[in-house]
Amino acid sequence: MKEKPLRLHKYIEEVRRINLGSRKTYQIRTFGCQMNENDSEKIAGVLEEMGYLAASDNEIPDFILFNTCCVRENAEQKVFGHLGVLKKQKEKKESLIIALCGCMMQQAGTLDKIKKSYRHADIVYGTNKSHLLPQYLYTLLTTGQKQYFAEPVDQEIIEGQPVKRESSIKAYVPIMYGCNNFCSYCVVPLVRGRERSRKKDDIINEINSLVAEGTKEVTLLGQNVNSYDSDGDFTELLYLIDRQCDIKRIRFMTSHPKDISSRLIQAIHDIDKVCNHLHLPLQSGSTKVLSEMNRKYDKDRYLAIISEAKQMVPEIGLSTDIIVGFPGETDDDFEDTLDVLEKCEFDFAYTFLYSKRRGTPAASRKDQITKEVKGERFEKLLEKQNSITLKKNLSFVGSTVKVLVEGASKTDKEILTGRDEANKIINFKGSPDLIGEIVNVKITSAKTWHLEGETNENI
């Protein structure tokens, strides 16, 4: 694990010197997961150190970066679509610098496609290389040479990068990077490398700095947080953060059912700061499909974990990820997924249509499911989950929940919005002074996507 090398400070200073005296602006478009959102916050931090300002909506910036995702096909198509549009912007403003980074750039064939069809891109680099952006930018600005890199994933963890946070109330804190699981549909291990964990002290220091700046909630991030391993495991890390950090709330994602332990569920129960919420991707309710996905748990094991969680933490909020239409999925397999949905009664489910990802075993299977069948199953799944979500939300009416107030509603300044421990969105009338506070809200009505309530009490 290395601190930011000195020579990178040199490039930051050099670009800042080049920008001195002129107003330079940037825009970042982020695709994909929370890990990418956190990477983009670091990129924004480094750009601002180099003298760039966030661009307003009605100007063509001097620097545009797409932080890309290749986990799903539509995110990838969107990037190429937006990149095509940028060609016109570059014709209007020749000095515009276009950069692309992230998972998609790490995939075999992407760089060749950019070289062939999108030559207006100036800088291209993959995951875990954003600390080198000042060097790429300096070289481009001083030599005019395009900076295209598609190197193997760097396993290093670079600490001490500047971060421009999107929120002053909540923050993402990565605790580990990469994944060793090789689920048969997923490209993450190919584009983000093997698992490596941050040192406990670096995590604690980051959280304590956030607390000093007024942050109330941290979400600990990792492709599989249960695999955290640095002089202790994930559960020990939670207890350590509880002891050493004065943070109000701790969330974490994502957990893998094959690695989740009773100790972790006990920690959710024991540690007041850890929110009563568990996001546990199911992916499929069929034991046969789970085995073909290489998930290393079966339907019964998944149900047993959820039952244990509900028993130990009765008020726990549950959410999940589900893929519909994995190759070879039969009607019976799909019925198993619906069955798990009914038995678990998730508060929320992120549902996805299976899409082929280059380089994964599932992509080369001959028994792909047709678009029509996938679409029908998807609708059925959504309908069932939405009715479960609404039913669960309605059961909250009349109860009081603790809400971290995140801001005012975009459409009505008198309405505040925030989340309870289970991660449900709660809207209620209140003074802007409550933003950033945790308040008691009595739930008065429920919709599928949010709850409404009223408050007169500050906790």
Q: Considering the rule CB under 6 A, would residue 449 count as an interface residue with ligand SF4?
A: no
The site string for ligand SF4 over 428-447 (x = CB under 6 A, - otherwise) reads --------------------
Distance of CA 380 to the CA centre of its chain: 26
Q: Which x/- pattern, by CB under 6 A, does the window 244-263 give for ligand SF4?
A: ------------x-------
Token pair in block for residue 192: 């983000």
C-beta closer to ligand SF4: residue 256 or 279: 256
Of positions 51, 61, 189, 418, contacts ligand SF4 by CB under 6 A: 189
Q: Show the 3-state SS of the chain.
A: CEECCHHHHHHHHHHHHHHCCCCEEEEEEECCCHHHHHHHHHHHHHHHHCCEEECCCCCCCCEEEEEECCCCHHHHHHHHHHHHHHHHHHHHCCCCEEEEEEHHHHCCCHHHHHHHHCCCCCEECCCCCHHHHHHHHHHHHHHCCCEECCCCCCCCCEECCCCCCCCCCEEEEECEECCCCCCCCCCHHHHHCCCEECCHHHHHHHHHHHHHCCCCEEEEECCCHHHCECCCEHHHHHHHHHHHCCCCEEEEECCCCCCCCHHHHHHHHHCCCECCEEECCCECCCHHHHHHCCCCCCHHHHHHHHHHHHHHCCCCEEEEEEEECCCCCCHHHHHHHHHHHHHHCCCEEEEEECCCCCCCHHHHCCCCCCHHHHHHHHHHHHHHHHHHHHHHHHCCCCCEEEEEEEEECCCCCCEEEEECCCCCEEEEECCHHHCCCEEEEEEEEECCCCEEEEEEEEC
Question: What are the distances in angstroms from CA 212 to CA 176, 216, 218, 251?
Answer: 23, 10, 13, 19
Token digits for 87?
């060609």
Can you say how many angstroms the Cα of residue 227 is from the centroid of all Cα atoms in its chain?
17
224 near ligand SF4, rule: CB under 6 A: yes
Rounded to a whole number of angstroms, the minimum distance from the CB of residue 71 to ligand SF4 is: 8
Question: Between residues 194 and 343, which has the closer beta carbon with respect to ligand SF4?
Answer: 194
Choose, by CB under 6 A, the member of 98, 186, 238, 369 that binds ligand SF4: 186
> Whole-number minimum distance, CB 425 to ligand SF4, in Å?
25
Q: Is 103 in the site for ligand SF4 (CB under 6 A)?
A: no
Is 25 a residue that touches ligand SF4 (CB under 6 A)?
no
Of the pair 133, 280, the CB lying nearest ligand SF4 is at 280
Q: Which is nearer to ligand SF4, 256 or 392 (CB)?
A: 256
Strands of the sheet with 317-324, listed across from one edge: 277-279, 317-324, 348-353
From residue 146 to residue 185, what is the string marking binding to ligand SF4 with x (rule CB under 6 A)? Answer: ---------------------------------x-xxx--
- For the bound state, the minimum distance from the C-beta of residue 355 to ligand SF4, rounded and expressed in Å, comes to 13
**Going by C-beta distance under 8 Å and a sequence separation of 6 or more, which residues neighbour residue 76?**
68, 69, 70, 104
Nearer to ligand SF4 by Cβ, of 189 and 436: the residue is 189
Q: Of 360 and 389, which CB lies nearer to ligand SF4 in the complex structure?
A: 360
Nearest to ligand SF4 of 139, 181 (CB atom):
181
Considering the complex, what minimum distance in angstroms separates the CB of residue 443 from ligand SF4?
33
By CB under 6 A, tell whether 72 contacts ligand SF4.
no
> From the CB of 183, what's the least distance to ligand SF4, in Å?
3
**350 touching ligand SF4, by CB under 6 A:** no
Residue 295 beta carbon to ligand SF4: minimum distance, rounded to whole angstroms: 7
Q: How far is the CB of 261 from ligand SF4 (least distance, A)?
A: 16
| CA dist 214 → 173, 297, 455, 457 (Å) | 15, 40, 23, 21
When asked if residue 349 is in the footprint of ligand SF4 (CB under 6 A), the reply is: no
Interface characters, 32-71, with ligand SF4 (x: CB under 6 A): ----------------------------------------
Binding track, positions 321-340, relative to ligand SF4; x by CB under 6 A: --------------------
Rounded to whole angstroms, the Cα distance separating 318 from 85 reads: 40
Q: Residue from 223, 319, 393, 423 that binds ligand SF4 (CB under 6 A)?
A: 223
The answer to the question of residue 188 lying near ligand SF4 (CB under 6 A) is: yes
| Residue (223 or 320) nearer to ligand SF4, CB | 223
Nearer to ligand SF4 among residue 16 and residue 296 (C-beta): 296
- Catalog residues that contact ligand SF4 under the rule CB under 6 A: 179, 181-183, 186, 188-189, 223-224, 256
